[in-house]
């Protein structure tokens, strides 16, 4: 027989095959990351009882043991492939109260953790069975420290009766897929690489490794790069906001998010934001609301649920799409409910005190009357516009309290007629659950006063996504309120940081309609809706993604065997982390997508407030420092996003501050020298003043130069070169006040336009400057002052070897 015939016979015997990676491809784990297996091992091994609250240390030591085992194997055997027993031989047994004889117990506990957490991926199983049915050879190739027998036990535990033609574990062959494991497989199985395929999630091992041996790869990533990055940020936020809590075991919530996202990969960014971020949060909240309703279901009770508009619009859509249980979308806001509940003037004063600006037409629109004394008050205000606080102070002298109670009675009657229309069997209800984003239960409390005034005995129960729990302590004894993200989930410091930035969530979740201002029978009378159409369309697209997640997550979870809401406390913590990641650590794509949103305040004004203002933050940092910038009052409404617009590091510093984890002595300013500044009057007279230089925790230098109106200064000459010959100028700002203290504390910071600044002896390149000697100066013009004191602040970062000089 000639050589050609032999080759032909050999080629005829070679077959095609489909090989599958095992972990994170054919099998999914019900934890946030693969090292969740180690966290569960800590619990199953019993170490969590003898050494409580050290799961993070256990996980890290398990990972370090594996690194040592692989490094030793590489040094001694020339391969980094190891078995599980090799790994635990490097584990610090004594640290955790164990002896070396417990090695097998730890191995068994980790395998038990794998059995508990692993699930068959239905997408991969379907492909596997299809290929098997078509007559292809199918099997598994895995880089793993579990040997082939252990791997076989695990696969069949996850899918009883599963069979395969081949199974390769890298530890059995002393080689990984990136090395020679594929070659071993091809040779031993007599497989034709050109007619074979390998599916896996690891680009280096599964894709490049397969290509190197002529096998056609099929990439199955756990998450796209963007989603994976967001997950990493979520984990960092979780560990910051929920210290001491297990950070890897989430009952499969993140695995479920990856699976849902993988099935909608081609949708627009806004849709994906709803699908992967907002949807999981609001679906978990939906389960929370359902549980609240179930807790109240007792014989003799009739429980109704109402979602408060506008912010409860998305929650109501999710509830309505997934349940047959009746619910109502109730358009009632703080303003309407407070006015309707007023039996004295105080509720109205409390409401007006929160209004930024208000004029006579808006007052008439709110209260349906405009007494002559109130009209005269507005006429005396500049441009007819007053602050809400000023109006609240003056109103007791401008209106008779009886007028308020009469107005309240009419508003109350119209509100109750509306409630009877939208809530089924309202008068037969014993309990009404009010679902809303939160926060202090102002609408719930106002409704309680209304019900009491009208003799309505319905008990009220708040079900809030976020609750300010210390404000809920004054509820009536018959009523309750509970937050999904309560102070038992994250601290009050964290809660207030979230609520400071929650306007973004409100705009995404709310309806496309304007806010309610009154009722006419069953009809809702609304404010004008000043939000631009593009913003409404964007919110609608995000909500569509959230609804898609809610519609599909349950089915996928059931197919895989995941229970993301099985433990309410864990679901709440991860929902808090997911929400906090969006609000506090948005990525550049999210800033671009959401940064143009506006917030309609709807308290006596039709104005739109900006979500983002990065320049505002830069000026606040220059003029007032990091702590003051972190406590800035709105606007901008999305303060954390404005920090993120400067850099991710600034956003994380803000998150640390809000979590009360930012040491002031590290990041606040400290004196680091002095400079003599020239102050020049218009008539040519000059004076020299010494100002203190401060260094921030970020290495920037701050100088603040106060001048008074009486000094009549026309120009400030600042010797920048004496601070640093090479540096970056971040900006010059001005604050005004009637005293130095007033000016220094003012949030009203104005940036001095760069074109008004002049330079002497300095070479500029963008925002960077260079001086050849110490004479280089920045000259700042000073115009007529509107207040007694102005403080000019300058922020620079020394570059290269340059540094400040005393």
pLDDT in tens, 34-53: 999 999 999 999 999 999 99
pLDDT in tens, 568-577: 999 999 999 9
pLDDT tier at 355, thresholds 50, 70, 90: confident
Q: Give the span between the Cα atoms of 55 and 239, in whole angstroms.
A: 13
- Secondary structure (DSSP) of 511-564: -SSPPEEEEETTEEEE----S-HHHHHHHHHHHHHHHHHHHHHHHHHHHHT--T
> Dihedral of the CA atoms 304, 307, 309, 315 (nearest 10)?
-160
Instruction: Kindly tell me if the per-residue pLDDT of 2 is higher than 60.
Output: no
pTM reported for the whole predicted model = 0.91
Of 33-37, 81-85, 219-223, 362-366, the one with minimum mean pLDDT is: 362-366
Q: Give the span between the Cα atoms of 509 and 540, in whole angstroms.
A: 9
pLDDT in tens, 226-263: 999 999 999 999 999 999 899 999 999 999 999 999 88
Check residue 602 and give its pLDDT. 62
Q: Give the span between the Cα atoms of 670 and 673, in whole angstroms.
A: 10
Average pLDDT, the chain: 92
Neighbours of 397 (CB within 10 A): 8
Check residue 4 and give its pLDDT. 47
**Which residues is 600 bridged to in the sheet?**
608
> How many angstroms from the chain centroid is the CA of residue 296?
32
> How many angstroms from the chain centroid is the CA of residue 435?
21
- Secondary structure (DSSP) of 185-225: HHHHHTB-GGG-EEEES-IIIIIIHHHHTTPEEEE--SS-H
Contact 292, 308 (CB under 8 A): no
Check residue 742 and give its pLDDT. 95
pLDDT in tens, 680-708: 998 889 999 999 999 998 889 999 999 99
pLDDT in tens, 614-668: 999 999 999 999 999 999 998 999 999 999 999 999 999 999 999 999 887 788 8
Contact 635, 606 (CB under 8 A): no
pLDDT in tens, 281-314: 999 999 999 999 999 999 999 999 999 989 999 9
> Dihedral of the CA atoms 586, 587, 588, 589 (nearest 10)?
-90
pLDDT tier at 606, thresholds 50, 70, 90: low
Instruction: Kindly tell me if the per-residue pLDDT of 371 is higher than 90.
Output: no
pLDDT tier at 264, thresholds 50, 70, 90: confident
**Phi, psi at residue 235, to the nearest 5°?**
-60, -40
Q: Give the span between the Cα atoms of 179 and 171, in whole angstroms.
A: 12
What one-character DSSP code corresponds to residue 115? H
pLDDT tier at 603, thresholds 50, 70, 90: low
pLDDT in tens, 645-657: 999 999 999 999 9
Contact 449, 341 (CB under 8 A): yes
pLDDT in tens, 539-588: 999 999 999 999 999 999 999 999 999 999 999 999 999 999 999 999 99
Task: Choose between 279 and 801: higher pLDDT.
Answer: 279
Contacts (Cβ under 8 Å, ≥6 apart) of 570: 246, 249, 250, 251
Q: What does the pLDDT average to over 51-72?
A: 96
Q: What does the pLDDT average to over 450-458?
A: 96
Task: Choose between 786 and 400: higher pLDDT.
Answer: 786
Check residue 805 and give its pLDDT. 46
In which element (H, E) is residue 287 found? Answer: helix 279-296
Question: 107-116, 525-534, 630-639: which has the highest mean pLDDT?
Answer: 107-116
Check residue 806 and give its pLDDT. 44
Check residue 5 and give its pLDDT. 45
pLDDT in tens, 725-761: 999 999 999 999 999 999 999 999 999 999 999 999 9
Q: What does the pLDDT average to over 217-234?
A: 91
Contact 632, 639 (CB under 8 A): yes
Instruction: Kindly tell me if the per-residue pLDDT of 12 is higher than 70.
Output: no
pLDDT tier at 222, thresholds 50, 70, 90: confident
pLDDT in tens, 121-145: 999 999 999 999 999 999 999 999 9
């Amino acid at each position: 027989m000639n050589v050609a015939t032999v080759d032909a016979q050999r080629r005829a015997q070679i077959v095609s095959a489909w090989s599958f990676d095992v972990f994170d491809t054919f099998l999914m784990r019900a934890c946030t990351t693969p090292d969740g297996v180690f966290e569960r091992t800590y619990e199953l091994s019993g170490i969590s009882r003898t050494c409580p609250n050290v799961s993070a240390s256990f996980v890290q030591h398990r990972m370090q043991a594996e690194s040592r085992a692989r490094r030793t194997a590489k040094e001694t055997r020339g391969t980094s492939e190891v078995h599980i027993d090799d790994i635990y031989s490097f584990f610090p047994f004594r640290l955790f109260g164990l002896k070396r004889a417990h090695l097998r117990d730890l191995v068994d506990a980790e395998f038990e953790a794998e059995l508990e957490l692993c699930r068959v991926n239905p997408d991969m199983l379907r492909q596997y069975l299809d290929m098997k049915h078509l007559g292809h050879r199918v099997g598994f190739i895995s880089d793993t420290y579990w040997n082939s027998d252990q791997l076989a036990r695990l696969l069949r535990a996850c899918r009883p009766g599963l069979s395969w033609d081949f199974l390769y574990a890298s530890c059995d062959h002393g080689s990984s897929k990136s090395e020679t494991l594929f070659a071993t497989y091809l040779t031993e199985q007599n497989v034709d690489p050109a007619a074979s395929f390998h599916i896996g999630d690891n680009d280096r091992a599964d894709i490049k490794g397969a290509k190197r041996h002529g096998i056609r790869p099929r990439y199955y990533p756990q998450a796209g790069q963007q989603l994976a990055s967001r997950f990493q940020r979520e984990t960092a936020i979780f560990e910051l906001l929920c210290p001491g809590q297990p950070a890897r075991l989430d009952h499969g919530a993140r695995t479920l998010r990856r699976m849902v996202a993988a099935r909608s990969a081609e949708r627009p960014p806004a849709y994906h934001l709803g699908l992967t971020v907002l949807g999981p949060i609001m679906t978990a909240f939906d389960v929370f609301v359902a549980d609240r309703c179930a807790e109240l279901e007792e014989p003799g009770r009739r429980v109704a649920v109402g979602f408060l508009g506008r912010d409860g619009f998305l929650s109501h859509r999710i509830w309505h799409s997934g349940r047959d249980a009746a619910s109502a979308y109730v358009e009632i806001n703080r303003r309407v409910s407070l006015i309707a509940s007023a039996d004295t003037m105080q509720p109205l004063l409390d409401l007006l005190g929160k209004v930024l600006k208000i004029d006579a037409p808006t007052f008439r629109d709110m209260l349906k009357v405009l007494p002559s004394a109130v009209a005269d008050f507005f006429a005396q205000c500049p441009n007819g516009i007053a602050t809400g606080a000023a109006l609240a102070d003056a109103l007791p002298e401008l209106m008779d309290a009886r007028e308020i109670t009469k107005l309240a009675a009419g508003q109350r009657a119209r509100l109750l007629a509306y409630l009877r229309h939208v809530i089924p069997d309202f008068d037969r209800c014993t309990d009404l659950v009010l679902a809303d984003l939160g926060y202090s239960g102002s609408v719930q409390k106002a409704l309680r006063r209304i019900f009491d005034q009208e003799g309505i005995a319905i008990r009220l129960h708040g079900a809030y996504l976020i609750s300010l729990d210390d404000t809920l302590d004054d509820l009536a004894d018959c009523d309750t309120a509970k937050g999904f993200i309560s102070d038992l989930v994250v601290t009050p410091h964290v809660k207030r940081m979230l609520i400071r930035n929650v306007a973004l969530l409100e705009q995404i979740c709310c309806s496309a309609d304007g806010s309610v201002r009154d009722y006419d029978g069953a009809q809702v009378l609304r404010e004008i809706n000043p939000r631009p159409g593009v913003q409404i369309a964007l919110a609608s697209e995000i909500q569509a993604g959230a609804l898609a997640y809610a519609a599909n997550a349950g089915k996928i979870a059931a197919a895989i065997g995941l229970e993301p809401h099985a433990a309410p406390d864990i679901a709440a913590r991860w929902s808090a982390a997911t929400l906090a990641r969006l609000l506090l650590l948005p990525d550049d794509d999210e800033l671009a997508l959401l940064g143009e949103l506006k917030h309609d305040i709807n308290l006596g004004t039709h104005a739109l407030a900006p979500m983002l203002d990065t320049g505002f933050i830069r000026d606040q940092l220059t003029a007032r420092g990091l702590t003051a910038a972190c406590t800035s009052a709105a606007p901008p409404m999305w303060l954390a996003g404005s920090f993120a617009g400067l850099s991710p590091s600034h956003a994380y510093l803000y998150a640390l501050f809000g979590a009360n984890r930012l040491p002031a002595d590290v990041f606040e300013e400290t004196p680091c020298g002095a400079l003599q500044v020239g102050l020049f009057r218009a008539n040519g007279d000059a004076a020299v003043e010494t100002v203190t230089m401060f260094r921030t925790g970020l290495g920037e230098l701050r100088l603040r130069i106060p001048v008074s109106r009486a000094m009549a200064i026309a120009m400030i000459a600042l010797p920048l070169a004496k601070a640093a010959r090479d540096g970056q100028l971040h900006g010059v700002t001005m604050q005004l006040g009637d005293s130095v203290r007033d000016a220094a504390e003012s949030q009203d910071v104005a940036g001095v336009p760069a074109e008004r600044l002049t330079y002497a002896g300095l070479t500029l390149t963008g925002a960077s400057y260079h001086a050849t000697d110490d004479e280089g100066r920045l000259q700042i013009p000073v115009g007529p002052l509107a207040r007694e004191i102005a403080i000019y602040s300058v922020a620079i970062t020394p570059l290269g070897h340059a540094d400040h000089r005393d």
